[in-house]
Structure 1
């Protein structure tokens, strides 16, 4: 009898331990699978911003302070430059090789301009501290809404961008393509965040801005514009027509505010 009692005393705790072991293990599981799920949940709530830029300088003129504000919070930003700014004509910017980059001796004036303006964009990305950018290299006036939409959709599906900035529509065909491409994106993916900024908002002579919404705010970004000024100076340096296109006094450079149209 005594021996039987001893067996029972030993057996009961063992049975309880075996019964509770799976529960205890589940509560204290630190396996890689659960860790990956937690990381996924964390990253799904993290914003990654994509700026869809028609030409080199549009990002600085329209949103240089906003870029600084976003980067000050540690927001991840990708820049997608659609066109190189190689257009020629009496009303388009002329440029000079201010930074003495290597240019092929027999290249066309348009190709020279493309190289110089793309180089200026790279310099500005360095000023903003951004190495996450891509230059698509379309010629001025050839960007289409479908190409902009395809770009944005790829950035969303394959790179995780879930907040998009681009310019409002206006008299420039590349600006209009970005506006229309964002409209297509917003119709297909309405739960993402979309922002627009006008390029000619501060200029005395400008076409009317066409935005996807009437919901806008004139953001005060004066404390974030030191890099905007440095970036603006890069673009100013390469332009030979001054001050018509880059007049600080006429408002194309402004340290505050910046108008942002908000969708979602």
Structure 2
């Protein structure tokens, strides 16, 4: 069975940091993969025209590299999701879910330090009730370097993975795609560095018994 997969990212780059290798794996398997981007930058929110144009080009280039079936953009103001009425965001997300009817979801960790990640999770999970959307079979929560590991070290909100994706054949391409977001990367020990991305993939791979892996918390798995 070929799956419809929806990748939800609060910002462009979260999809690649959190599950870039898994996206490539889904596409290689022939699945239809859709990308929902919650936020965007704009001149109205303090960015100059060059930055806005560059971000638009980055999104287009990343989408082309992955080969998404379709890209959805809500264009909500970045870093401002927590001041937008929750019902408004849920309604926008629900419309896309009902249009795509995805079997599999990938979304950010509820307890990431960035407020946009928290709001994104809450908006998506509110739209994934199986009795309303019986097509939903799997919901996965990914980790985002520079956000997940900086959440408070409290047991009840810790990211404890219970699902792993072997990306041994896809890490190099994930890294290559991440380099499109040049301004989001830095030199180690900056969290979003190529060295750190490889280190995390190696560590998660060792946990899963493979060379490289991405880790997830499985929130729902119906089969």
Q: When the two structures are superposed, what TM-score results if normalisation uses the length of structure 1?
A: 0.63
Gaps of 5+ in 2: 202-211
The size of the alignment, in residue pairs, is 199
Question: C-alpha separation between the residues in 2 aligned to 1:64 and 1:185?
Answer: 23
Q: Helix, strand or coil: the match of 2:169?
A: helix
Q: Helix, strand or coil: the match of 2:180?
A: helix
**1:199 partnered with 2:199:** no
What's the offset of the Cα at 1:200?
2.9
Q: 1:259 aligns with which of 206, 215, 218?
A: 215
Partner of 2:120: 178
Q: Please provide the CA RMSD for this pair.
A: 3.4
Q: 2:21 aligns with which of 49, 56, 65?
A: 65
What's the offset of the Cα at 1:121?
1.8
| Paired residues for 1:81-120 under 5 Å | 81-84=37-40, 109=47, 111-120=49-58
| Paired residues for 1:100-179 under 5 Å | 109=47, 111-143=49-81, 145-169=86-110, 170-179=112-121
Question: C-alpha separation between the residues in 1 aligned to 2:124 and 2:46?
Answer: 33
Determine if contact 2:105/2:139 at 8 Å carries over to the other structure: yes
Question: C-alpha separation between the residues in 2 aligned to 1:128 and 1:157?
Answer: 23
After superposition, give the CA deviation of every residue in 1:77-105 in whole Å (9 maximum; x if it has no partner): 1101111256xxxxxxxxxxxxxxxxx9x
Question: C-alpha separation between the residues in 2 aligned to 1:51 and 1:240?
Answer: 21
Gaps of 5+ in 1: 1-44, 87-103
More strand by share: 2
| Paired residues for 1:16-55 under 5 Å | 46-55=2-11
